[in-house]
Amino acid sequence: MSHLSTTLESVASRDPLRAAAVDTVKALALAVADIATLIRWPSGDVALGAASGSANADGDNQKALDVLADEMIQNALCKVPSVALYLSEEQDGAVPLHDSGTIIVASDPLDGSSNIDTNVSVGTIFSILPAVDGALQAGRNQIAAGFFVYGPQTTLLLTFGESIMAFQLDNDGQFYDMDWQVRIEPKTDEFAINASNMRQWQSDVAAYIADCLAGTNGPRRRNFNMRWVGSLVADAWRIFRRGGIFLYPADARSGYGAGRLRLVYEANPVAFLVEAAGGKAVDGNGPILDILPESLHARVPFIFGSANEVDEFMRYRP
């Protein structure tokens, strides 16, 4: 299997921004290897899933590992001169790193942290943007994006906008190419949604899910399966592997008028990967990647996955 650096050599040669993004991915990979070790073999004095006693900009209670992962990612990016700004889901504002930097890195350092205590896969999500356009720019501007999954294997899905590359961490602490031609199946019989929010859904979401649940007796004329991990990176990895549609829509709960997921740190990087793999990613009105963020921590309804099924969902929209 080819080492991460070898696979990325051809990308780095294309242009200086891509070369800067390659350096960033290499630095993140080293930090992630350390985070993976910490998760797999936590040292006795750090309860990773314990509350840190602080909250992030969204008011989410931060786990010890949220704070630790954020520090490790920021320290890794400090070693990459090209990184001008670090935008973290765990920090209120943009963190200046290098005045002469040419790229911005946005990250959810530890996605799914409420699952740490339950031994469920969690991840690190990142988005790399040109610094010249500032912190608030549409996701279509991304130079590169990806996410790591700390699961039974520690893996990375990465794109520079064309194809997707997949890597797996080996026991030497290095990432190697999985030689997986990543494409999302256009058709699916599997949806992912937190069904406990059913009474809060808007009518179009409720109608779409009801028709899936009606199976062969309903208008879809086939049966559907449901999966919901509650960790975006785990649900997303499954969809890249076998297709599916993921829905975190807006709902009637206070604070969920634009859903739960963050545009800059979660939806944009995942949407960049999804479109590169032939899938679709929308907010219910149009492509996620065309949305201009109104603020760093803006939330967005997020529906993504198999292209035919996202199109089918959009037919229910008023």
- Catalytic residue ranges: 60, 66, 89-90, 108, 110-111, 266
70 is an interface residue for ligand AFP by CB under 6 A: no
190 is an interface residue for ligand AFP by CB under 6 A: no
* Nearest residue to 244 via CA among 236, 255, 253: 236
Q: Which stretch binds ligand AFP (CB under 6 A): 35-43, 110-118, 142-150, 290-298?
A: 110-118
User: Nearest approach, Cβ of 33 to ligand AFP (angstroms)?
Assistant: 21
User: Nearest approach, Cβ of 303 to ligand AFP (angstroms)?
Assistant: 12
At residue 248's C-alpha, the angle toward residues 307 and 154, to 5°, is 80
- Residue of the chain from 194, 200, 202, 308 that contacts ligand AFP (CB under 6 A): 194
230 is an interface residue for ligand AFP by CB under 6 A: yes
Beta-ladder partners of 103: 83, 130
Residue that the structure tokens 């469920």 belong to: 120
Tokens of 112: 């799914």
Q: How many angstroms from the chain centroid is the CA of residue 249? A: 16
The answer to whether the beta carbons of residues 102 and 16 sit under 8 Å apart is yes
- Residue of the chain from 112, 259, 269, 305 that contacts ligand AFP (CB under 6 A): 112
91 is an interface residue for ligand AFP by CB under 6 A: no
User: Nearest approach, Cβ of 194 to ligand AFP (angstroms)?
Assistant: 4
Measured distance CA(136)–CA(174) in Å, rounded: 33
88 is an interface residue for ligand AFP by CB under 6 A: no
Nearer to ligand AFP, 2 or 114 (CB): 114
Name the H helices within 136-247: 203-214, 232-242
141 is an interface residue for ligand AFP by CB under 6 A: no
Tokens of 51: 């509350």
113 is an interface residue for ligand AFP by CB under 6 A: yes
* Nearest residue to 236 via CA among 266, 204, 265, 198: 266
The residues of the shown chain that bind ligand AFP, judged by CB under 6 A, are 60, 111-115, 194, 230-232, 260-261
